[in-house]
Amino acid sequence: MNAFVLAKMVHVTCVAVSIAGFVARFSAARFWPEILRYRAVRVLPHVNDTLLLAAAIVMLIIARWNVLDMPWLLAKIVGLLVYIVLGVFALRGRSARVRASAFVCALLTFAYVVSVALSKSVAGPFAG
Residues that bind ligand HEM (CB under 6 A): 8, 11-12, 15, 53, 56, 59-60, 67, 73, 76-77, 79-80, 83, 110, 113-114, 117-118
In the bound complex, what is the minimum distance in angstroms from residue 12's beta carbon to ligand HEM? Answer: 5
In the bound complex, what is the minimum distance in angstroms from residue 89's beta carbon to ligand HEM? Answer: 16
In the bound complex, what is the minimum distance in angstroms from residue 59's beta carbon to ligand HEM? Answer: 4
3-state DSSP helix/strand/coil percent for the chain, to nearest 5? 85, 0, 15
Backbone φ/ψ region at 124: left (φ over 0), alpha (ψ -120 to 50), beta: left
Query: Taking every pair of C-alpha atoms in the chain, what is the biggest distance, in angstroms?
Result: 48
Q: CB-wise, 29 or 82, nearer to ligand HEM?
A: 82
